[in-house]
Structure 1
């Protein structure tokens, strides 16, 4: 019985690591299910990560000005070093992307999110959160290699699980409205800034 359970657990782990998504009818890629929460003690700002971020164009993590903008009141460390930030300080509209370093569709959609950020970031900022990842250095490296500059945070211990930013699979992207409502924007990878724009406009009822 124990041997059978071990085999199932191993198969699930291999599935998550090897293939983070499959084709979906929506034209993107569906997310991969996440396993159990790893430890919150994972170092998300090792010496190498800090050096890599410093040499990149990734922006510093900065808190917003709200006391309760709608996101969970959870303080997350900055991926690659920097100030920790209480997510509740952010105000909408905003795009929040949940990702992991070994997730193929997560990596594939990074250029689309970055392009959207470069074009519309003044109106609708973007932040990334590396969720329940035991190797955050890979996530930072992959993001930097794909030109990501928007701020990125880390939730290695799954502090966001069970709340409005629950990651049932990655990638998962949420939007925060001006009135503080958090809604799922897309489960699975997005392929272009235009697709991100259309989804944001439709979900938030705005025109960019």
Structure 2
């Protein structure tokens, strides 16, 4: 009797493992953003701006060319994140919603920071609907210029390319992010 019960439990366990193990993979469309959705565009070269983004060039997480931060002008919301960062996961829905609401009034750019697993970063962006350009800063090149203690960090860049405000830490609500965009960039959503 004991051998029969063990055999039944073993068979049930194998059936359960088989059923759970093959349905969803990290490359399914629902969990992985196509790299084209994260594509970067070439920016015309511009002189660096006092109090602007650092003169650092970073590779694109998705398809597209490397991007020199000093070339960027706003209104721009630049978010420094990592897939391993819990607070980054908390604020990701607010950034995805901002992208929808902004309708071209505000650009968004992400920087995947100190992240050893590129494929998980692409998956993270897809899971959270962050379908705007993202750069990779595996070597922490922006750490000193932006004074990053750790992610998340959100910088607000005006039309002249000046960093007008830096929010350190997690954004706690959609209302907080929308208000920062209005107050710091002058854009009403």
> TM-score normalised by the shorter chain: which range applies?
0.7 to 0.9
Structure with the greater alpha carbon radius of gyration: 2
Unaligned runs of 5+ in 1: 1-47
Instruction: Give the TM-score, by structure 1 length.
Output: 0.67
Q: Distance in 2 between matches of 1:181 and 1:84?
A: 21
Q: Is the 8 A contact 2:33 2:131 kept in 1?
A: no
- Alignment coverage as a number of residue pairs: 156
- The aligned residue for residue 196 of structure 1 is 177
**TM-score, normalised with respect to structure 2:** 0.73
RMSD across aligned positions (CA): 2.2
Q: Could you report, residue by residue, the CA deviation over 1:58-82 in whole angstroms, capped at 9, with x for unpaired residues? A: 2410133350363222111011443
Could you tell me how far apart the structure 1 residues matched to 2:115 and 2:175 are? Answer: 29
Q: Contact 2:92 / 2:128 at 8 angstroms: preserved in 1?
A: yes
Residue pairs, 1:96-111, within 5 angstroms: 96-111=78-93
Following the alignment from structure 1 to structure 2, what is the Cα–Cα distance between the partners of residues 81 and 99? 19
Q: 2:60 aligns with which of 78, 81, 101?
A: 78
**Matched residue, 2:117:** 135
Are residues 1:180 and 2:161 paired?
yes
Q: CA deviation at 1:203?
A: 2.1
Counterpart-to-counterpart distance in 2, 1:80 and 1:113: 18
Q: Which runs of 5+ in 2 are unaligned?
A: 1-26
Deviates more, 1:138-147 or 1:185-194: 185-194
Equivalences for residues 41-190 of structure 1 within 5 A = 52-54=32-34, 58-65=37-44, 67-68=46-47, 70-163=52-145, 165-190=146-171
Distance 1:131 1:149 in 2: 17
For the residues of structure 2 that align with 1:162 and 1:183, how far apart are their CA atoms?
Answer: 17
Provide the rounded CA distance (Å) in 1 between the counterparts of 2:73 and 2:170. 24
Alignment CA distance shift 1:121-1:175 (3 Å): farther
Measured after TM superposition, the shift of residue 190 of structure 1 is: 2.0
* Counterpart contact for 2:116–2:138, Cα < 8 Å: yes
SS at match of 2:111: strand
